[in-house]
Amino acid sequence: MKKKKQQNRHVYWNPYFGGFLLGLLIILTFYLTGRGLGASGALKSGVVTIVDTVAPTHAENNAYYSKFIKEGESPMNNWLVFEAIGVLFGAFLSGAFTGRIKLRVQHSPKITSKRRLIFALIGGILFGVGAQIARGCTSGAALSGMAVLATGGFITMLAIFGTGYLVAYFFRKNWI
């Protein structure tokens, strides 16, 4: 039994099957909620809740935060928050079932763990800032937009992958 578990330790799903399931999930999301997928709204709800808890006067007087604060209602009571919790829970279950839960930093042998973490942090910050400038999650805009055949969804997906492809050349030593 242990040998079989060891063999399946790094088995990943076929990415095409994963994409197919993601497509079904988007259809189901549109059917149940009338909206597509996205994740940046959950982070925004968390930030608004923290600011409102730590500095309620500032949150009420701030033009951005005050839009999301309603008397007697928490900004965390948003379906995007529950979606993000579900994604985290699902990722944990997936890792648990395949024996991949452990603390590690995956990186190229040519760079250190510290460098990998620094570049991951910078990339995450840039993606988060871009999501706020665009007033929403770029991956959600691409996936949900393409699901309804919106031109903007296709343009967003092309921009994400095109930019990633062009920029990858300059940063390839961090992964290869």
Predicted TM-score (pTM) of the model is: 0.67
Burial label for 77, CB within 10 Å (0-12, 13-18, 19+), is: exposed
Query: Which of helix, strand or coil describes residue 70?
Result: strand
CA distances 149 to 24, 90, 143, 156, 160, Å, are: 15, 28, 10, 12, 17
44 and 77 in contact (C-beta within 8 Å)?
no
pLDDT of residue 52: 92
Domain ranges of the chain: 107-176
User: In order along the chain (176 residues), what is the average pLDDT of each group of 10 residues?
Assistant: 53 83 87 80 87 92 89 84 89 86 83 90 86 76 85 90 88 74
Token representation of residue 154: 């296709």
128 and 40 in contact (C-beta within 8 Å)?
yes
